[in-house]
């Protein structure tokens, strides 16, 4: 499978969350050796948990599935560029790489305040190739779909 194929699976995971009204349009897939080992979508509204972003849910799922706290050798595909909480969680989990669809600015366009925190904490430029954009067009379509669903903003 290609990176775009994996991103499309993350998009489907996000769509599942949107349909269930669990939270924002953020879905994530974690891959190791070509196999999906974790997945998750934003469940902030469903769980009344502001930390249950798609990346966090996928990390928890992968750790459960692999019976480890160390996701070395794994990469994550996520529909939106990770907020700082999720970025740090990916680093704590030892994920090798982050592929994201929409940018921090795109997240802001649909009502999320990631850019506020990015302005406070910054530092992404120090990460080099750790973050890579893939499938932005497809993820923007997902974000438009989310916006048209008249979501509860938080």
Q: Rounded CA gap, 11 and 4, in Å?
A: 10
Nearest to 58 by CA among 33, 89, 35, 84: 89
Question: Residue 132: what are its φ and ψ, rounded to 5°?
Answer: -140, 130
55 has catalytic annotation: yes
Strands (E), 42-104: 74-80, 97-102
Q: Pick the catalytic residue: 13, 55, 81, 105?
A: 55
Task: Say whether 98 sits in a helix, a strand or coil.
Answer: strand
Catalytic residues: 55
């Amino acid at each position: 499978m290609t990176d775009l194929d994996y991103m499309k699976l993350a998009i489907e995971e996000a769509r599942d969350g949107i349909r269930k009204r669990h939270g924002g349009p953020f879905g994530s897939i974690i891959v190791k050796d070509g196999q999906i080992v974790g997945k998750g979508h934003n469940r902030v509204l469903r769980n009344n948990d502001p930390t249950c972003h798609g990346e966090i849910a996928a990390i928890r799922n992968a750790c459960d599935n692999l019976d480890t706290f160390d996701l070395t050798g794994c990469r994550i595909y996520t529909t939106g560029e990770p907020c700082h909480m999720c970025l740090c969680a990916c680093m704590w989990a030892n994920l090798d790489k982050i592929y994201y669809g929409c940018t921090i600015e795109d997240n802001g366009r649909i009502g999320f305040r990631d850019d506020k925190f990015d302005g406070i904490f910054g530092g992404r430029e120090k990460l080099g190739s750790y973050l890579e954009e893939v499938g932005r067009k497809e993820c923007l379509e997902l974000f438009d779909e989310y916006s048209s669903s008249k979501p509860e903003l938080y």
